[in-house]
Chains A and B, each alone.
Chain A
Amino acid sequence: EGDKVRIGYAVARTGANATGAGITTIPNYELWVKTVNAAGGLKMPDGSQRMIEVVEYDNRSSNEDLVRSIERLASQDKVDLILPPWGTGPNLAVAPLFDRFGYPQLAVTAVTDKAPDFVKRWKRSFWLLGGGHDYAEGLVDVLKAARDAGTINNKIAAVSVADGFGIDLISGARPAFKQAGFDLVYDKSYPLGTSDFSAILSEAKASGADSFVAFSYPPGSFGMTKTAQSMGFNPKVFYLSVGGAFPIYPGIADGKAEGVMAIGGVNADSPAMQEYFARHTKEIGNPPDSWASAITYASLQMLEQAVARVGLDHEALANELSTGSFDTVIGTVKLEDNQLRDLWWVGQWQGGAFRAIDPADKPGASAPIIPKPAW
């Protein structure tokens, strides 16, 4: 019936991506739908409200299944809007389909330096989480400031997970480290699925670097934390990637997360963010992660506001998303060339909250704590 808005998505419920999607994507989709519907539904340009009805599939972490699910949503279910899947690869895999069927694609959980090219190729795609270089350079900023202040030495030990994400980050970081005059004394990648980090960390420890940098996924981030603790590895900077900003991280670190840096971050002092954290915790049962969760939610708010302004027409919507400015949990958002550039690159656990520390000049940034207190 016409008085409902049908929104579909095909996110990984099972398989390798289920964990990432289960933490960052699905809860926010559910939270948003719940919030909107509780307020009477999606607002339309004519001021009417329509309830959201969700059509959901499991992509089983397989791109083949994912592609088919999107085709199903578009051509069979003919939903009004489609929300993207979790992860860089999956977002790329569905981009041509979104494009072909004309749906705007708000690719949130995709980190790619090629976003500018993709925007040209797929006019209705939007890339909201930046690229590997951005994060790497943000980290370099933080380290450089500390080195220049004499807090840490010139040596960095870096490890990276051997997949598209880890490689993007490390290949952005290498030149940036070099340019900033750092000495990369340990630089290794490790395969996805590695569960034992004793050997890697004992090498990193032996390298004499004050800064330990891991471009890692959650299992690695957690494993390295535990191993570092048990072997008494206390670098002055301990930086992790995905997982470091997860709400469960302090628990994993046995309550000793203070000073740990990681990718992303939120302005923990903003009331909007605090309200979002509280609502997420209440409705979903646990707090969101402090990186892509808020952006995922913000992307949904953008969509909501764009619909309120121009309705469900895909072309108008894409146009509005591209040019409009939106009021979200991460503040006012305005895309540049279909990309969100105003992001936090580095955050740090401080006093029990994961706070953004870089870009240092962005309003809401906290000052980094270096050296990190010993475990």
Chain B
Amino acid sequence: MKIALSLAALVALALAPFGVSDYGLGLLIGAVTYVTLASGWAVFSGHTRYVSLATVAFYGTGAYTVAVLNEAMPYWLVLIVAGLIGAAIALVVGLSTLRLAGVYFVIFTFGLSELVRQLITWYEVNVTGTLGRYIFLDVSAREIYWQMLALGAATIALTAWIQRHRLGLALRVIGDDEVVAAHSGIPLARTKLTAFVLSATILTLAGAIASPRWVYVEPSIVFNPTVSFLTVIMALLGGANRLWGPVLGAVPLFLAFEWLSARFPDTYPIFLGLLFILVVFALPDGILAGLERLKTRKTEDRA
């Protein structure tokens, strides 16, 4: 039943570009991109509670790969290569962060994104001698949307599968108590790495898919840390450890951003900040948990 509903929604979403303006399509792309990012992020961070700020390192790497390779090979091949690069980086990063916990991990991943950005900048400046790169690809907004939608749907399906699978249980236990996890026979390193690489590959692909929309790419544009922050915030706001949590965080927040900034171009950060604080206070465990609480209260009232 739930699966059927999800599939129906997916079909409806896939058909949506035929009924909306270019702007509508832009909105859809934006929303789906953030849903993908937040859900992809949660594949690793949702249960393990390792808050990663490396999102943009992968997202940007995806975009950069396209920028570097788009004239050298066919688009689909570029996407595959991007995914592989993302996975490879994630493996190295994952291996090096295994000993880090809590806020140390958070800031490490932030530092890592910045390091990547600085090194690419330095490389381009000193070796290639140019900084900006162009992506003149003939990918229409619709195609970008469908690709992103497919990636987003695949991410959610993957999450659902993981939750029902040993990997999901292992991640949850790791999130609760790593010592217990280890003594129960869970291989910590392998489990964390698997999830991290999966998550990173999704994030990298998202960057690769989105990049043709930007045309001009340079490190300060594609490695913009705001993306990492927004992703975390959206996932946490919705409820990072639930299947639909990231969706419920990403879509409203994205729309709120959009609406407020259009409505109050000068003062919207103030409203947004207030709204945000309000939500945090009103819905302590995220939007999804809030909704569920509301639902149980209703059923209890009826009973």
Interface residues, chain A, CB within 8 Å of chain B?
Answer: 13-16, 56-58, 60-65, 67-68, 71-72, 74-76, 88-89, 92-93, 95-96, 101, 121, 162-164, 167-168, 171, 189, 191-192
Contact = CB atoms under 8 A, between A and B. Distances in A.
Contacts of A93: 213-216
A191 B224 contact: no
A293 to B, nearest CB: 20
B261 A57 contact: yes
B42 interface: no
Given A62-B226, A89-B221, A162-B122, A167 B25 contact: no
Interface string B220-264: 110010100000000000000000000000000000001001100
Most buried by A among B141, B210, B215, B266: B215
Nearest to B230: A62
B268 interface: yes
B125 A13 contact: no
A75 B118 contact: no
B30 A162 contact: no
Most buried by B among A15, A16, A92: A92
Contacts of A63: 213-214, 216, 221
A56 B266 CA distance: 10
B143 interface: no
A192 B218 CA distance: 12
Contacts of B220: 16, 163, 192
Interface string B108-120: 0000000000100
Most buried by A among B136, B218, B269: B218
Nearest to A95: B215
Given A57-B261, A57-B265, A163-B218, A74 B130 contact: no
A71 B221 contact: no
B132 interface: yes
Interface SS majority for chain B: helix
B26 to A, nearest CB: 4
A161 to B, nearest CB: 10
A352 to B, nearest CB: 32
28 contacts: A13-B266, A57-B265, A62-B224, A63-B214, A63-B216, A65-B30, A67-B26, A67-B214, A68-B30, A71-B25, A71-B26, A74-B22, A75-B22, A76-B21, A76-B22, A89-B132, A89-B216, A95-B215, A162-B122, A163-B131, A163-B220, A167-B124, A167-B125, A167-B129, A167-B131, A168-B130, A171-B130, A192-B121
Nearest 3 CB-CB pairs, A to B? A92-B216, A75-B22, A68-B26
Given A63-B213, A64-B213, A71-B22, 10 more contacts: A57-B261, A57-B265, A58-B268, A62-B226, A67-B213, A76-B21, A76-B24, A88-B216, A167-B131, A189-B122
A92 B118 CA distance: 22
B121 A162 contact: yes
B281 interface: no
B126 interface: yes
A68 B33 CA distance: 13
B105 interface: no
Given A64-B30, A71-B22, A93-B214, A162 B262 contact: no
Interface of B: 21-27, 29-30, 33, 118, 121-122, 124-126, 129-132, 134, 136, 141, 210, 213-216, 218-221, 224, 226, 258, 261-262, 265-266, 268-269
Contact of B23 (A64, A76, A88, A192): A76
Contacts of B124: 167
Nearest to B212: A96
B125 A162 contact: yes
Contacts of A167: 124-125, 129-131
Contact of A191 (B23, B118, B136): B118
A90 B134 CA distance: 12
A79 B121 CA distance: 38
A163 B124 CA distance: 9
Most buried by B among A74, A93, A167: A167
Most buried by B among A13, A15, A163: A163
Contacts of B224: 16, 61-62
A68 B28 CA distance: 10
Given A62-B224, A75-B23, A95-B215, A164 B132 contact: yes
Contacts of B261: 57-58, 60, 65
Contacts of A71: 21-23, 25-26, 141
A171 B221 CA distance: 21
B264 to A, nearest CB: 9
Nearest to A174: B129
Nearest to B33: A64
Contacts of A56: 265
A96 B30 CA distance: 18
A67 to B, nearest CB: 5
Contacts of B221: 63, 89
Nearest to B136: A121
Contacts of A95: 215
Contacts of A96: 215
B262 A64 contact: no
Contacts of A16: 220, 224
Contacts of A89: 132, 216, 218, 221
B221 to A, nearest CB: 6
B215 A171 contact: no
B248 to A, nearest CB: 21
A189 B118 CA distance: 12
Contact of A88 (B121, B130, B132): B132
A75 B28 CA distance: 14
Contact of A13 (B27, B129, B265): B265
A75 B141 CA distance: 13
Contacts of A171: 129-130
A192 B220 CA distance: 9
Contacts of B218: 89, 163-164
Most buried by B among A15, A64, A76: A64
